[in-house]
Amino acid sequence: MKTEQKAPAKINLTLDIASVLPDGYHSIFTVMQTVDLCDTVTVETADGGVTLTCTEGAIPCDERNTAYKAAALFRKAANITEGVQVHIEKRIPSQAGLAGGSADAAAVLRALDELFPERLTEKQLYEIAFSIGADVPFCLAGGARLCLNKGEIMARLPSLDAWVVLVKPEENVSTGEAYARFDSAQELFHPDNDRFLFHAAKGEYKKALAYAANTFEDLCDLPCGAGIKSALYAGGAYYAAMSGSGSAFFGLFDDEARAAQTAKALRRTYERTWLCRTVTK
């Protein structure tokens, strides 16, 4: 048996780090939106245990890989005796704040749920997803979601309809290091979460984005960030920000032609630039 799943990236329309929880993890307030920059994940049954291959040589293909963990945990929870072979065709860049690894793990869970239907409940799938990583439950759900606490508390929101220009500079950002900067920061700007959510819940994203921000932008302070955002706004974006803990930036556009022109211009400096579209699932 064999199936293929798309593993779409996400952007954070707003992201606030609310506090440090008693267990040392961080409580977040974020609204994430799926975009159509995708990895392709192929899953098939095979002999043995779990094996994984990937087109990106720098990505580990063992227990350190989130997609590998997803397959192993699903097999154990569903009591599957067949082996599982996973292949990932990567397009989403790593250390970009786009949840590429989480998207791959979610795609594996969807694929195995398709290959072995009714072995696990939806609740069990989401429990496995959260045990792998904070963004995996969102990637399993897709669309637009408010995500709270460690990411496991989610609420569906109207999906944003926009063209998206994604830019990944050469710099990489470690999520762990970004959170460590938060722990030592003396003063940070925080978005207005209540006003953002008031408008986002009604699908009024242009009004909502007036109150949006990404706390990680202050923490990471990437030298290229201001220039990328300036170019996105100059090209016609109505909002631009860093995604997640970085280092990718995105701009939102109404007009496809202006978005495509802006992506083309930015690609002269930043090779890894994509023209994308938001998607509902």
Helices (H) and strands (E) in the chain, counts: 10, 10
Q: Answer whether 2-157 and 163-277 agree in fold.
A: no
Query: Which stretch of DSSP H or E encloses residue 138?
Result: helix 136-141
**Domain-wise residue ranges, the chain:** 2-157, 163-277
Is 104 part of the annotated catalytic residue set?
no
Sheet strands side by side (includes 273-277)? 239-242, 249-253, 163-167, 273-277
pLDDT at residue 151, as a whole number: 87
Is 202 part of the annotated catalytic residue set?
no
Q: What is the pTM of this model?
A: 0.95
Among 157, 272, 167, 165, which residue's Cα sits nearest to residue 224?
Answer: 167
Series of mean pLDDT values for 10-residue runs along the chain (281 residues): 97 91 85 98 95 96 97 97 97 95 98 96 97 96 96 95 97 76 75 97 98 90 93 98 95 98 98 96 70
Domain 163-277 fold is Alpha-Beta Plaits (3.30.70)
CATH number of 2-157: 3.30.230.10
Residue 188 DSSP SS3: coil
Whether residue 249 contacts residue 217, with contact meaning beta carbons closer than 8 Å, is answered with no
Report the alpha-carbon distance of residue 247 to residue 229 in Å, rounded: 12
Whether residue 251 contacts residue 240, with contact meaning beta carbons closer than 8 Å, is answered with yes
Among 16, 104, 113, 135, the active-site one is: 135
Report the alpha-carbon distance of residue 110 to residue 98 in Å, rounded: 19
Exposed / middle / buried, residue 149 (Cβ in 10 Å: 0-12, 13-18, 19+): middle
**Cβ count within 10 A of residue 152:** 16
Percentages (nearest 5) of helix, strand, coil residues in the chain: 35, 30, 35
Among 10, 69, 90, 229, the active-site one is: 10
pLDDT at residue 177, as a whole number: 75
pLDDT at residue 227, as a whole number: 97
- List the structure tokens of 237: 């974006």
Whether residue 246 contacts residue 220, with contact meaning beta carbons closer than 8 Å, is answered with yes
